[in-house]
Amino acid sequence: MSTSRVALVTGVSRGVGKGISSALAEAGWQVFGTSRRGDGPDGVTALACDHRDDEAVAQVFGDVREQAGRLDLLVNNVWASPPGFAGFTEKFWERPISDWDTLITVGLRAHYVASVHAAAQMTSQGSGLIASISSFGTRGHLHSVLYGMSKAALDKMTFDMAHELAGTGVSAVSLWPGLVRTELLLGSGLTEFAGFPLSEAEDPTFIGRVIDRLAGDERLPQLSGHTLISAELGARYGLTNDDGTAPASHRAAFGGGALFPPG
């Protein structure tokens, strides 16, 4: 049985989840990651899981418990685009109602289901962190109506989970990355996206390093229930992207002021 801290990251086949899980593994965590095909980055134990299947999710947590004996960190990251996804260029009334089945079922419900399993294990051991990847789409319109709904609900879920987790030794936070330099975005040839330059964006691995430091932050119990901006946490911890640059916070672009809970 490993003596390393144990993390489970959902949705690690590419993008943000791949970067987070890679960074955690590099930081010394024993990392498990889910993907539909059971693939993941080097250093991560990949587990096949369709997060629309509650029994498959339960099996993942059983496998982690059997192989590692504990769980110190859950990163809720899994996400799925709707069929026919074309960059959210259509209005909500022009899209099929079945968009709900991915943006809400996978983009929100899957995080709740995973959090239930994680909280049950973490509270029994008296420690742990549930970190959910949310978005500035909570604050202003971003992508689509259902996207914003899912992210706003995710932040409220985090706040209410923290209320019920108080006194257990388990914390819950919601993270807002800014523009992220995923493989898809870097391969597009764009130098900016939605008005934000890629030169100021975040590497997926940067977000993983932020979560690593947050999990060990002595102030974590006071941050439980809060929505946090990954670029601002990174600046506090002295972290940078892989190329040494510091990502920019999008707080001002989305209205400034307090996040969640309201100030």
In a domain, 178, yes or no: yes
In a domain, 177, yes or no: yes
Separation of alpha carbons 152 and 229, rounded Å: 14
Q: Which of 137, 146, 186 has its CA nearest to residue 18?
A: 186
| Three-class DSSP category at 12 | coil
In a domain, 241, yes or no: yes
Extract the tokens encoding 67: 């192989």
Extract the tokens encoding 139: 């604050």
In a domain, 44, yes or no: yes
pLDDT over 70 percentage in the chain: 96
195: left (phi over 0), alpha (psi -120 to 50) or beta: left
In a domain, 250, yes or no: yes
112 is catalytic: no
- The average pLDDT across 130-156 equals 91
Which residue in 147, 159, 176, 206 is the catalytic one? 147
Backbone φ and ψ for 224, nearest 5 degrees, come out as: -60, 135
Separation of alpha carbons 78 and 9, rounded Å: 8
- The average pLDDT across 155-173 equals 97
Chain segment 226-253, per-residue pLDDT in tens: 999 999 999 999 999 999 999 999 988 8
- The answer to whether residue 1 scores a pLDDT higher than 50 is no
Q: How many domains does the chain have?
A: 1
In a domain, 260, yes or no: no
CATH number at residue 94: 3.40.50.720
Instruction: Specify the residue for token string 């809720």.
Output: 76
In a domain, 263, yes or no: no
Who has greater pLDDT, 62 or 38?
62
pLDDT score of 120: 98
- The alpha helices in the chain, defined as continuous H runs, are 15-26, 54-68, 100-103, 110-125, 145-165, 183-186, 204-215, 220-223, 230-237
pLDDT score of 183: 84
pLDDT over 90 percentage in the chain: 72
pTM of the complete model:
0.94
Please give the residue range of the domain that contains residue 188: 6-254
In a domain, 1, yes or no: no
